[in-house]
A and B are shown apart, each in its own frame.
Chain A
Amino acid sequence: MPTLTINDITVQAPEGATLLEAARTAGIHIPTLCHLPGVHAPGACRVCLVEVEGARTLMASCVTPAHDGMRVRTNSPRARNGRRDVVELLLSEHEGDCTTCARSEDCELRAIAREAGVKEVHYQGERRPTRLDHSTKGLVRDTGKCILCRRCVAVCQNVESIGAIAPQERGFGTYVGPAFHAPLSEVTCVQCGQCSLVCPVGAIGERDQVDEVWRALNDPHLHVVVQTAPAIRAALGECFGLPPGSRVTGKMVSALRRLGFGAVFDTDFSADLTIMEEGHELLARLRGALGGGPKHGPLPMFTSCCPAWIQFAEHFAPDMLHNLSTCKSPQQMLGALAKSYYAEKIGKKPEDVFVVSIMPCTAKKFECDRDEMRDSGAKDVDVVLTTRELGRMIREAGIDFTSLPDEVMDAPLGISTGAADIFANSGGVMEAALRTAYEVVTGRPLPSIQLEPVGPMAAGGVHQASIQVNDVVPAWSFLEGQTVTVAVVHGLAHARQLLEDVRAGRRSPHFVEVMTCPGGCIGGGGQPRPTTDEVRQARIRAICEEDASKPLRTSHTNPGVTQLYEEFLGAPLGERSHHLLHTHYHPRCFVAKAPQAQKATPKPCAEARPES
């Protein structure tokens, strides 16, 4: 363990630590713009400069290893001036107007400029050229605001293994973007929005659709309903200065009512419904594979709640699309029901009901726009707002969020159980499905099982568990004594690896939950910023508390869902639910052929001739 002094304080740094990490263990703050713990430390932004005794220049602390006997100053005049100069240089190229920028409230560059004591930008010169990319439904990009920290590139390549964007050109002309100067919509971007979550400035953000919702709310012909995803209640408070992990379910409901929504529904309801459909789909697939019943699709079965994962599979695993559950995501199920079951109940036509979703996710904006998502006869979900947009909307309406009273969701699509709450966490969909499936099969509650991520999760992870099934009820006798293996994945890089393992036979789980964002939806691309590991952990805890606080904690005990099946749907996997709640997927064509297939090609060169 190297011992060094930082600002005359003796610090014992962990082995292999950088100066930045050493300083943080001693509670000394050094500002950074490009550093992403556990993912990315390129030393690109130079904001973390410190003075090291004996060194010729100021050192970037995020990439300088801590050595025994080093004497470091983070606040000497030279270090402070150096940092201030760096920030001024960044500001001199930064094209953007803080008064209108969507990012101005939580912009890291703005905060750091203040912290570094910038009072004036001494450098004048050319500004970064602005290339706007509005091609996707979920994300908008503006290279003029980009400071080239490459955080987005790191998460896209390392955490999600997509590599949709990379630095292009060189020198002052450098910009971050896809290959061939193509728009994002023409490359393999899955719109997960993790880039927008880590961007320190306003260069990448969600497509702002707040005004569309205002317009709908002011339209007297429309009955506007809203649904909120499980992950919102553990994060929305952060938009109003509450600490991460504050549970604000009740305040959120009253805020939504005050915004003028005709009914406030809970995506939790359709999460419970998803479990009913997906759980029965899994049992049907298991019966086909293990019990000699009719084949109902291959194993492993993958969850289908995450739209970015679906798009990833369509791009990169077209051979595995039959392994995806055919269930729509909870958001789309609720949309379809709001415009059929609920519309019927209140005597409205599907097109007169306007469904707004509040999601922690930018890919949901893409999902609701898919052609397959119109089974109610109209677009099932009209507009998706992210947590951040809802925060802005509440502020625009002048609502004092923190002093709102607690209210409850509307029946019937607002009733939920604890199993639905945990959909927000990585491992939660799996646990919820197991709670119901285990109880259906054995008649007993599921033994305690740990599926949520623990420890660092910024780079995603994979977790496998096995459940021994004994003493089953007679209808499920083929499962007697079987061990059901499940896997939980977050971060698409881990999903890609798991797909490889499944294809190669190295792993053979029965059921796999995939969430694109590290930590699950609580760390979604549309959540409040910053989302660090500490914040993710606090949100996960809040979601678990929310689950524990509910009297009902298994999806099949949700009275609203039972009523829905009795009045409208019939049975899980029935005719009507097949039409409204299930879907199918299409391979997409943006990806080069798999490397193995190419190696087998005898003349690779012939494939790559120039267009003549």
Chain B
Amino acid sequence: MNTQEVDFTYRLWRHDGAPGELIPLLQSAQEHFGYIPRRAITYISGVTNTPESTIYGVITFYSQFRLQPMGKHRIRLCCGTACHVAGAQTLLDALRDELGVEENGTTEDGVFTLFTVACLGCCSLAPAMMINDETYGSLTPAAARKIIRTIRREENKKAEKEKSVA
């Protein structure tokens, strides 16, 4: 078990049914699973004595919680003013086409999740996007596609390696 898993388990185990613990529990679950699976909701409901409807309401209220698994690489495309003017929409179209997903969607192979954000705070690089902690600036649709393809090639290589080891 990793630390996050221990944390989630520990929180559930020691929970005494007192109110006010729901959000930390949901955060632990999300850290553990990468999203909040339905069974975790059912489980937390039983432990905290909170109806599933209320928990689902809390999850859907806060944008920090996810109900779908997230891809390995998180793409955050900036749609702030500067990037918008510099053509963020054409980038978004290109990424959607390249990945085959809509905004907030995860690719079938679970490698990418595509988000749009209001501003990344690097307007001088417009149009920009971040993949995980890496920032890419002055993008064109072709450059964006190339970046995605490069990461995908590396992921494919990794997967093959793992297969051959197994």
Contact = CB atoms under 8 A, between A and B. Distances in A.
B57 A168 contact: yes
A599 B13 contact: yes
B53 A594 contact: no
Contacts of A168: 53, 56-57, 60
A355 to B, nearest CB: 35
Given A169-B60, A179-B56, A180-B38, A603 B9 contact: yes
A609 B13 CA distance: 16
B51 interface: yes
A164 B53 CA distance: 6
Contact of B51 (A164, A169, A593, A605): A164
Given A593-B46, A604-B13, A605-B32, A179 B39 contact: no
B60 to A, nearest CB: 5
A165 B46 contact: no
A180 B56 contact: yes
Interface in A11-54: none
B8 A610 contact: no
Q: Find the residue from B8, B40, B46, B55 having the highest chain A CB count within 10 A.
A: B46
Interface residues of A, number: 29
B49 A595 contact: yes
Interface in A576-612: 592-595, 598-599, 603-605, 607-611
B30 to A, nearest CB: 11
A362 B39 CA distance: 31
Contacts of B61: 167, 169-170
Contact of B43 (A170, A178, A608): A608
Contact of A165 (B40, B41, B45, B53): B53
Nearest to B35: A610
Given A604-B9, A611-B37, A592 B45 contact: yes
A157 interface: yes
B52 A599 contact: no
A313 B73 CA distance: 47
B39 A610 contact: yes
B47 A599 contact: yes
B147 to A, nearest CB: 29
Interface size bucket, B side? 20 to 34
B42 A592 contact: yes
B60 A605 contact: no
A166 interface: yes
Contacts of B46: 592-595, 598
Interface of A is mostly: loop
A4 interface: no
Contacts, number: 93
Contacts of B54: 157, 163, 166
Given A177-B53, A608-B40, A610-B39, 16 more contacts: A166-B51, A166-B53, A167-B61, A179-B51, A179-B52, A180-B52, A187-B52, A594-B46, A598-B46, A599-B13, A603-B9, A604-B12, A608-B39, A608-B43, A610-B37, A610-B40
Contact of A179 (B5, B33, B37, B53): B53
A66 B37 CA distance: 46
Contacts of B60: 168-170
Contacts of B121: none
Interface string B57-74: 100110000000100000
Nearest to B63: A170
A165 B60 CA distance: 14
Given A594-B46, A608-B37, A157 B51 contact: yes
A329 B53 CA distance: 30
Given A168-B57, A592-B46, A608-B37, A163 B13 contact: no
Interface string A155-167: 0010000111111
Contacts of A595: 17, 46-49
A178 B38 CA distance: 13
A515 to B, nearest CB: 22
Interface string A125-158: 0000000000000000000000000000000010
B29 interface: yes
Nearest to B41: A179
Contacts of A592: 42-43, 45-46, 52
Given A157-B54, A593-B46, A605 B5 contact: yes
Nearest to A157: B51
A168 B52 CA distance: 11
A432 to B, nearest CB: 34
Contacts of A166: 51, 53-54, 56-57
A163 B33 contact: no
A349 to B, nearest CB: 45
A168 B33 CA distance: 22
Contact of A607 (B5, B39, B52): B39
A330 B13 CA distance: 46
A607 B43 contact: yes
